[in-house]
Chain A
Amino acid sequence: MDSLKDPLKDPLLDPVSDSVRHLDLTEVPLRSVNALLHGREVDDLPMLTPGEDVVLSHPQGAHAVAVGLDSPRQVRIEGHVGYYAAGMNQRADVVISGNAGVGVAENMMSGSVTVLGNASQAAGATAHGGLLVVHGDAAARCGISMKGVDIVVGGSIGHMSAFMAQAGRLVVRGDAGDALGDSIYEARLYVRGEVASLGADCVAKQMRPEHHEELAALLKAAGYEDDDTGAYTRYGSARELYHFDVDNAY
């Protein structure tokens, strides 16, 4: 992680808003925290104002932290989270300062999710939009069935990543595990390091000027603007698997 952006300079980690709500997950139940984040009234806790930023402390690996957010808001989670953190996110910008468990940002629609540590398997699964940045490594099945999300991984990704990836872009600054892009549709994959093996119907493709431009924009959005886009290889679908071929019929 040579050019990992300095968390102290990250605007998401340094909310400019005067109004920041601090919630400690060892004191406030997770359901109450998530209800507050959904703009609902909870017990005697005052509702969040529109755009009010939130800092969640002591997640202690809990599942489903900050899921289903649907309004513009910066949420910082201080620590490691369990499964499905920031899943189904719309419009919010969520930063996880530790590691994330299975399915971080799964089915994200828009907004962003940033993981400063590592992510477990199925990061960004089925996500339709938004930006997922994992500054560490992501495990197996990163971007499985992605449907339009952009994912940038600072480290390496595990096996079966981008399986059946339909749309969106996946950028990997490190290596990719076995069977990258198996049964891929129209997602575009950019990998700087080694690929252990390509999955069925996934092939290396030429980097045309528009791809350098697209990759540079994604790297910049994730804080890796110093990377040389020429060091990356593009992978995508050979388009031989998902078209009906009468010779494959029984």
Chain B
Amino acid sequence: MCGIVGLHLRSPDLHPLLGELLTGMVCEMQDRGADSAGVAVYGDPRWSPPGHVAVSFVPDPSLLTLSTGVEVEALAAELSLDLASPVAVVDAGPTLVAHVVESAGVDALRASVLAAFPDALIAGFGADVAVLKGVGHPRDLAEAYGLADAQGWQGVGHTRMATESAVNAGGCHPYAVGLDQCLVHNGSFSNHATIRRDLRARGAVFDSENDTEVGARFVADRLAAGYDVETALKELCGTFDGFYTLLVSDSRSFAVVRDAIACKPAVIAETDDWVAMASEYRALVGLPGIESARLYEPEPERIYAWTR
């Protein structure tokens, strides 16, 4: 069992409230898993300011603490020197987020981070997304991330009850393996080893033994090949065996899909101001206007996608 939540804000008036709303949603899902929790936030001015590219990373993934212990000012100076461009490093508890002006390039920033911390787990990267991961109770993690103060147009969260791989940052969702992409999963894939082998043969490099990472890298592989998210998820349904409710997002889109058996729960709520998805309705009760939202459960193997 795991809990997943997502919020796609249509109304810019709500952008300043994203973190507060997402915190309530993630914390309500703590009963579905409390060994780790991760979030992805699109458009936060602290973590991914406009005109910048950001890399979110866990410097030492073997640590299970709420803080990295890294001196961020010194690290920022080191990365700035390396890139010859001013880099900011934001302390978000167990994850750090480095950002630099877009022209410096996200690949260069990522390489620079990995030069400083060769064992670092890259949690996410892109122009818009910050991905925060950690081990611990969702409520403690939300506080350590500073999630309540986050702003932006879209957020995704996951509370984990581990079944398929170790409880560490590498096993923590979201999996954000492509530019501004992000995937969270409730369920388990049963044929992930076979698909991982195929993807490795095509050049993919994995950070963990986690089943969901295989799903994320599969989607990233198909998107890189030019598929749109709907086609990529259709192919995922035909390729992956197992149980899943998935929430897949990038800077522009937000999509939900469930397996054919659909035993993993999902509720979607929509108003003119937002689209939200959660494992259970109770995660949605704090959203403004929920009383009049259109509520429904996604049908099995049907892809629901929204774009901005």
Contacts and interface: CB of A to CB of B under 8 A. Distances in A.
Contact of A82 (B262, B282, B297, B300): B282
A120 interface: yes
B224 interface: no
B265 interface: yes
A102 B282 contact: no
Interface in A17-36: none
Given A120-B297, A139-B297, A80 B281 contact: yes
Contacts of A63: 282
Contacts of A140: 261-263, 300
B286 to A, nearest CB: 9
B263 A62 contact: no
B193 interface: no
A101 interface: yes
Interface in A96-140: 99, 101-102, 118, 120-121, 139-140
Nearest to B28: A61
A96 to B, nearest CB: 12
B306 to A, nearest CB: 21
A101 B280 contact: yes
A60 interface: yes
Interface residues of A, number: 18
B300 A159 contact: yes
B285 A60 contact: yes
Contact of B280 (A61, A121, A160): A61
B295 interface: yes
Nearest to A139: B297
A118 B297 CA distance: 10
A182 to B, nearest CB: 12
B295 A62 contact: no
Interface string A51-88: 00000000011110000000000000000101100000
Given A101-B280, A102-B265, A61 B285 contact: yes
B134 to A, nearest CB: 27
B2 to A, nearest CB: 15
Contacts of A158: 262
A4 B280 CA distance: 27
Interface in A191-214: none
Contacts of A102: 265
A84 B42 CA distance: 35
> What bracket does the count of chain B residues touching chain A fall in?
10 to 19
B263 A60 contact: no
A120 B297 CA distance: 8
A82 B263 contact: no
B281 A99 contact: yes
Nearest to B296: A118
B282 A62 contact: yes
Interface string B184-227: 00000000000000000000000000000000000000000000
B281 A121 contact: no
Contacts of A99: 281, 295
A140 B265 CA distance: 11
Contacts of A83: 280
A173 to B, nearest CB: 19
Nearest to A100: B281
Interface in A174-199: none
Contact of A120 (B265, B282, B283): B265
A61 B265 CA distance: 13
A120 B296 CA distance: 9
Q: Give the residue among B265, B281, B283, B297 with the most A Cβ atoms within 10 A.
A: B281
Nearest to B282: A61
Given A140-B300, A159-B300, A101 B281 contact: yes
Interface of B: 261-263, 265, 280-285, 295-297, 300
18 contacts: A60-B282, A60-B285, A61-B280, A61-B282, A61-B283, A61-B284, A61-B285, A80-B295, A82-B281, A99-B281, A101-B280, A101-B281, A118-B295, A118-B296, A118-B297, A120-B297, A158-B262, A160-B261
Counting from the closest, the 7 A-B pairs by CB-CB distance are: A61-B282, A61-B281, A60-B285, A139-B297, A80-B281, A140-B262, A82-B282
